[in-house]
Amino acid sequence: MRIKMVIEYDGSNYHGFQIQPNAITIQETLETCLAQLTGETIRITAAGRTDAGVHAMGQVISFDTASTIPDDRFCLALNRFLPDDIKALSSRQAPDDFNARFNAVKKTYRYSIYNSAAGQILVRKYALCLNETLDIEAMQQACRYIEGRHDFSSFCASGSSARTFERNVMKCELTHNGVWLTLEMEADGFLYNMVRITVGTLLEVGRSRLSPQDISSILEVRDRAAASPTAPPQGLCLIKVDYPDTLRIQEQ
Amino acid sequence: MRIKMVIEYDGSNYHGFQIQPNAITIQETLETCLAQLTGETIRITAAGRTDAGVHAMGQVISFDTASTIPDDRFCLALNRFLPDDIKALSSRQAPDDFNARFNAVKKTYRYSIYNSAAGQILVRKYALCLNETLDIEAMQQACRYIEGRHDFSSFCASGSSARTFERNVMKCELTHNGVWLTLEMEADGFLYNMVRITVGTLLEVGRSRLSPQDISSILEVRDRAAASPTAPPQGLCLIKVDYPDTLRIQEQ
């Protein structure tokens, strides 16, 4: 049967999701633990292949298994083998052709910024730590230019294998709560480093080195060099992946 | 000169503050780095000797040095030697007889509880992670019985070297914000494990196994066995230490 599983992880100690030689990854750890649980060689597909240091609260993976473990108990069974920084939250049988990556219709990422001199130590692995005056209203205005269907070439790291650069950003919302600044982005898909380049560019707006309107021209030129440096990975977290209702995967 | 220094640390990877053989501690790390910075053998005194896994955002230490580094630059100089989970926030010259521990008139601790199945992975080192229904209003009522001057023998772990068990709790406040429950306690002093035993007991009130009024009788019997199990260390953080204004240490 094909399984759809929702997982969360602390990416601090991994070289990203995707398997690679000579470095420990989330994928390798999951596949090793699935092998220990089932005795099978299992290859998994993930909705979003997060980079080194990036976290997830709602990553989705799909894989096949001949195991007789009931689909909804699979997550509990797997948790007995997983290390304490990876956890399976739920599992369900999915249609045989379900693919966690290609069937995704929407992904939600959150980027957390902690803006205070005191207390950085306790959040340093889960937020970008700053201590500067930012024009938050200008940053929020800039978010309005990100939202919508655009060619996001300027917000895509070189080395991307993407064939099209148009994406539909349904939500790009910056909220401010005391020392915390949180950017939530929802889109039908994300280009390589798209959230982190967006954050880096919004910060330049916050520092008044760019105006909110500059986002428009940055998008127009379709050139990575027009946007600002990429924000570091530890502030980023994959929150949620949505699939079409027509897939009829039982609610979890 | 005597220095008063405010420090923060992530206690996850330390066997507590106080120096001990065969285990790495905050005190040992600070003293080693101070020796590297000054060339002197420096012994430090801390306001609160936090346990293994407990964090600090406003721990205060005092020590003597013959260094010519200006008092307010001492923290920056020391940070060049400290590991990334300990940071000096500020430093000032203090009166020659200043003692970070014995001159403290008030300490503030915070205990964080994360109450949700999802997202525990990202806060597991900085909060007690639960996923249960708690009667928060009852817990808040119970807090009222903790506040005030009481004999806290029932909330003191055995093995304590305390000679008196009376303490004045100026504040014991539980706030609820979504998946977060935060207890803030201010007192003129804390007995060994006092905050963590208080949290463990408040949780039993939240589970309706104790009533808020039971706190009164637990205090009265002056017996550790009357209170509930100690909550784990990772939710605890030393937030702030106050000293008398008469010490006239420059504002930091």
The complex's ipTM works out to: 0.86
- In chain A, residues 30-89 whose CB comes closer than 8 Å to chain B: 55, 57-58, 84-87, 89
Distance from CA of A88 to the nearest CA of B (A): 10
User: Searching chain A, which residue's CA lies closest to the CA of residue B84?
Assistant: A121
For A196, list phi and psi in degrees, rounded to 5. Answer: -70, -35
Which regions of chain A carry the CATH code 3.30.70.660? 106-240
CATH code at A2-103: 3.30.70.580
What ranges in chain A are assigned the alpha helix state H?
26-38, 74-79, 136-146, 194-206, 214-221
Q: What is the pLDDT of residue A158?
A: 85
Fold held by A106-240: Alpha-Beta Plaits (3.30.70)
Question: Along the 252 residues of chain A, how does pLDDT read in single tens digits?
Answer: 999 999 999 999 999 999 999 899 999 999 999 999 999 999 999 999 999 999 999 999 999 999 999 999 999 999 999 999 999 999 999 999 999 999 999 999 999 999 999 999 999 999 999 999 999 999 999 999 999 999 999 999 987 778 899 999 999 999 999 999 999 999 999 999 999 999 999 999 999 999 999 999 999 999 999 999 999 999 999 999 999 988 776 555
DSSP letters spanning A32-101: HHHHHHHSS----EESS-PPTT-EEEEEEEEEE----S-GGGHHHHHHTTS-TTEEEEEEEEE-TT--TT
Backbone Cα Rg of chain B: 19
pTM: 0.91
Mutate to test the interface with B, among A13, A59, A112, A121 (most CBs of B within 10 A): A121
What mean pLDDT is reported for chain B?
Answer: 95
CB pairs under 8 A between A and B: 50
B107-156 pLDDT, tens digit each:
999 999 999 999 999 999 999 999 999 999 999 999 999 999 999 999 99
A86/B122 CB distance under 8 A: no
What is the rounded distance in angstroms from the CA atom of residue A113 to the CA atom of residue A125? 11
* CATH 3.30.70.580 location in chain B: 2-103
Distance (Å, rounded) from C-alpha A85 to C-alpha A196? 23
Q: For every one of its 252 residues, what pLDDT tens digit does chain B have, with 9 covering 90 and above?
A: 999 999 999 999 999 999 999 899 999 999 999 999 999 999 999 999 999 999 999 999 999 999 999 999 999 999 999 999 999 999 999 999 999 999 999 999 999 999 999 999 999 999 999 999 999 999 999 999 999 999 999 999 987 778 899 999 999 999 999 999 999 999 999 999 999 999 999 999 999 999 999 999 999 999 999 999 999 999 999 999 999 988 766 555
List CB contacts (< 8 A) between B121 and chain A.
8-10, 55, 57, 85-87
Q: A121–B58: do the CB atoms touch at under 8 Å? A: no
pLDDT given at position A251: 53
Spell out which residues of chain B touch residue A121, defining contact as CB-CB under 8 Å: 8-10, 55, 57, 85-87
A118, B8: Cβ pair inside 8 Å?
Answer: yes
Which residue of B85, B121, B237 is in closest CB contact with A8?
B121
